[in-house]
Structure 1
Amino acid sequence: MIRSRTVWVTAALVTATLGATAVPTVAAPAAAPRAAAACPTGWGSLGKTNSASTPGDYVTNARTGRHDCYDRFVVDVPGASAVQLGYSVRYVAQLIQDPTGHPIPVSGGAILEVIVRAPAYDIDSGTATYPGRVGERLPGVNLTGYRTFRDAKFGGTFEGQSQFGLGVRARLPFRVLQQDGHLVVDVAHTW
């Protein structure tokens, strides 16, 4: 009886071992590829304006950011409410400094002129509130690695409004967002 039990246990162990090795291994499923971002469409490339004014408020900074679907340009105007923040954003053949009429070279396949209806200086003291220099690249802005933006220049301030030029890869759709203290311009990577 001991011998038959030993044979039975041995047979069970051999069967279990063979059965375990005979089970095919299944590879773990590969990670699903990251879905492409669903990018908005329908922004268009025609000029956009809001004739509101920002009395007593002024430009303090201009900056950029990269997103999955667009490159972003932001002009900071602290104290300005969204409804007071006036602007004009449009594609131009050349960035022309107001009021001199001098062209400012901007690299890229197309030029987007951004005018914010706020000066870049304190009206009461005459002190500059934004360190940009006319015709120069925007201070602190590095466009390396951007998909759409190629260049960003300061056009200066005249009669209570500040001018910027964005060099973009091509004439692409854009949108303008007014937020408290900020004007935001998003330029899509594609149509």
Structure 2
Amino acid sequence: MARHGLRVPRAGAGGCDAVAVKRRTSLPAGAVLAAAVLLTGCAQQQPSTASSSGAASSSASAGSSSSAGSSSAPPAVTTAPAADGAFPADTAPDTAEASADARVTVTDIRTGRHDGFDRVVLEVEGTGTPGWDVRYVDAASSQGSGEPVAVAGDAVLQVTVTGAGYPYDTGAEEYASADPLPGEGTRTVTEVVFDATYEGTTVAFVGTRSEAPFRVYLLEDPSRLVVEVADQP
């Protein structure tokens, strides 16, 4: 009687391996039942293996996507902390050089009150960039003559503008308003006394209630020297 070879999968450590099973035309019922059980077992195992492979693939894909997403994310932006509002000033002399072509005339003087400090502004006209020498002095005296100058307050802040010129040099009219100029709502500044222009410098005296910290800087359009005096407790 002819023999036929039937390939029946076998469950093994590496999955279901195909093995040859020799059978006659009529196989015992037990053998057929065993083969059916093995086939059923392999049918259940193979999807599980495929599912595991798919899960691993999905996990790898997800990991790859996550990694790609992380690498393409923009870097964190760090915002600098806000200023604490402290007044950056002291009582040491403050000086700055005038430009070589400076020839300016003080045309206006103003005082004002701001949060935490008083402001004195000396507006100038002319050419070049003025310099300055601002410092506390023991007593005010007029430049040129040396005569004492009366200034209200317990301390005197002398403001010297360098690179100054006479009105006939600059074509600008020199300050000739209130003298002394009282502080407008100020807390530390008492008044400003304009002195004179002499040999390239113009002097004004700022009376204060104490030797409070101050700062000096220059603004443009129009050009003006700014002196700010901090409040005292």
Please state which band the TM-score falls in when normalised by the shorter chain.
0.5 to 0.7
For structure 2, the residue ranges without an aligned partner over 5 or more in a row are 1-83
User: How do 1:63-78 and structure 2 match up within 5 A?
Assistant: 63-78=110-125
Q: What pairs with 1:22-33 in structure 2 (closer than 5 Å)?
A: none
* 2:196 is the alignment partner of 1:156: yes
Looking at structure 2, the residues matched to 56 and 161 of structure 1 have their Cα atoms a distance apart, in angstroms, of: 10
1:111-158 Cα offsets, whole Å, 9 max, x none, are 00001124474233887422158xx413xxx42532111121011110
Aligned in 2, Cα 1:101/1:182: closer, same or farther, shift over 3 Å? same
Give SS of 2:104's match: coil
The corresponding residue for 2:231 is 189
d(CA) in 1 for partners of 2:210, 2:136: 10
The share of aligned pairs that are identical, in percent, is 35
Distance 1:40 1:75 in 2: 24
Higher relative contact order (CA 8 A, sep 6+): 1
Q: Deviations over 1:27-64 (max 9, x none)?
A: xxxxxxxxxxx652341101111121462322111111
- Report which of the two has the higher share of strand: 2
Q: Does the C-alpha gap of structure 1 residues 44 and 127 become closer, same or farther in structure 2, counting only changes over 3 Å?
A: closer
Count residues with an aligned counterpart. Answer: 147
The alpha-carbon deviation at position 79 of structure 1 amounts to 4.9
* TM-score, length of structure 2 as denominator length: 0.57
Cα distance in structure 2, aligned partners of 1:160 and 1:56: 8
**Which letter maps to 1:65?**
G
CA RMSD, 1 decimal: 2.4
**Structure 2 counterpart of 1:187, which letter?**
V
Larger Rg belongs to: 2
CA contact (8 A) 1:59 1:118 kept: no
8 Å Cα contact 2:112/2:184 also seen in 1:
no
Unaligned runs of 5+ in 1: 1-37
1:174 counterpart = 2:209: no
- The structure richer in helix per residue is 2
Partner of 2:180: 137
Q: Give the alignment's TM-score, normalised by structure 1.
A: 0.68
